[in-house]
Structure 1
Amino acid sequence: MHSLIVVSHPLPESLTAAVARQIGAGLAQAGHSFEIADLAAEGFDPRFSANDVAVHLRQAQVDPMVAAEQARIGRADALVLVYPVYWWSFPALLKGWIDRVFINGWAYEEMPDGRVVRKLGHLPIHLVAIGGADLRTYARHGYFGAMRTQIDHGIFGYCGAPVRRSELLVPGEARGAAEMLEAGARIGRAIFAPPTSAQAV
């Protein structure tokens, strides 16, 4: 099985990028293949342009950069998004990637009668957010629940893509970078494992 790991962080030496690499290592340990899409290093343009609006309205052709991303997703049996939490959500680079790639006619289909056909039911999603605040902060303000409503349900639910994992890795009293990297490897090994009741979804 093959995974596309999408990482969104401007620094290749960041903890986010390291966790993404560890997820890949875990996948390899479990006998699976993977590709890492480093949006910052690859120079993906997240700006939703007038042409993107025209594509949404079926009045223009999809940008080749966007088509290439859709093709990469099409080759994957699972999509893994690894990102730092900025203002209790995705970084703008990752949000722009979703805005431009998960488009009408590809991720979903808006029908003339108002129905929405969800087109990504075949694509399991694994979300790995890297937070700087502790879990008490997320729990006290309901931030992670709000993120799951917006991202898991609002984005991927709209496209019909099942979210198999929605995990928040944050520093704790006994959790440092090494423990977070090991969590990445554990996540990678579990991507294609049969789901259990203990798995975060």
Structure 2
Amino acid sequence: MSTLIITAHPDTESLTHQAATRLREALGHETTTVGHLAQEGFDPRFTLNDRHLYLGHGVSAADVVAEQDRLDHISDLVLVFPIYWWSMPALLKGWFDRVFIAGWAFDFDNTGRLVPKLGRLTVHVLATAGTAAGSFERHGYTQAFAAQVETGIFDFCGMRRGETAFVHDSESTDIESVTTTMHAAVSSIAAAVSPSSAHTEQPSTPGVQQ
């Protein structure tokens, strides 16, 4: 059993990166790897080559194959990212657009029926949000997130839903409160990934928010 943590944030001092680091420490370095899409230079642009591949022509680009390969060798995927404009960053969306393609993430049988292919994976989400939890509820974003991401991506590809944790008010000046909330989110994800080995996180002061 192994875990891949994927982040999508340009700032290595961000709360997003701090959460990913804490989560890896909680799960153990021996079985956990981290992929920082921004720092690795992953190209999220859906190019003409990707379009041709979608239509059944050509071969996957090397960077797409590399992402699929590391996903093929894990049991749990954890997505750690900030909420931008009520959604995931374009970098992470492009990762899904280019990597989770027909023939690998899903397929269709002779009758045109969907055949999900990623049932071996359990996916978890740790998202930082500058807005309050109440705002999410009032604007229907909690339900929208479930429909767009959990149903539209995870379920479509057959991935099992794991833990989803939001760190709300991530840009608050109350650093202690943000830290506590972040560590609670990390602990809930760690417990869901590895109940027997996860330990309680000890708070430390984060730097840049979100």
Aligned-partner SS, 1:48: coil
Supply the AA of the counterpart residue of 2:24.
Answer: G
When the two structures are superposed, what TM-score results if normalisation uses the length of structure 2?
0.86
Residue equivalent to 1:71? 69
- With 48-57 and 94-103 compared, the bigger mean Cα shift is at 48-57
Identity across aligned pairs (percent)? 40
User: Relative to structure 1, is the Cα distance of residues 32 and 124 closer, same or farther in structure 2, using a 3 angstrom cutoff?
Assistant: farther
CA–CA distance in structure 1, aligned partners of residues 131 and 79 of structure 2: 20
What CA distance in whole angstroms lies between the structure 1 residues aligned with 2:22 and 2:8? 15
Where in structure 2 are the equivalents of 1:36-47 lying within 5 Å? 36-47=34-45
Structure 1 equivalent of residue 5 of structure 2 = 5
Shift of 1:32: 5.8
Is the 1:118–1:158 contact (alpha carbons within 8 Å) kept by the matching residues of 2?
yes
Which AA in structure 1 matches 2:7?
V
Equivalent residue number for residue 26 of structure 2 = 26
Q: Partner letter of residue 54 of structure 1?
A: H
Q: Distance in 1 between matches of 2:133 and 2:31?
A: 32
Deviations 1:120-150 (A, max 9, x none): 1110000111111011100111111101110
After the TM superposition, list the runs of 4 or more consecutive aligned residues in structure 1 that deviate by more than 3 angstroms.
172-175
Letter in structure 2 aligned against 1:188: A
Runs of at least 5 residues in structure 1 that lack an aligned partner in the other structure: 195-201
2:166 maps to which residue? 168
Aligned pairs, number = 192
Tell me the SS of whatever aligns to 2:181: helix
Unaligned residue ranges in structure 2 (runs of 5+): 197-210
Query: Structure 1 CA distance, aligned partners of 2:53 and 2:181?
Result: 40
> Do the aligned residues in 2 keep the contact of 1:78 with 1:124 (CA within 8 Å)?
yes
> In angstroms, what is the RMSD of aligned CA positions?
1.9
> For residues 64-103 of structure 1, what are the structure 2 equivalents within 5 Å?
64-103=62-101
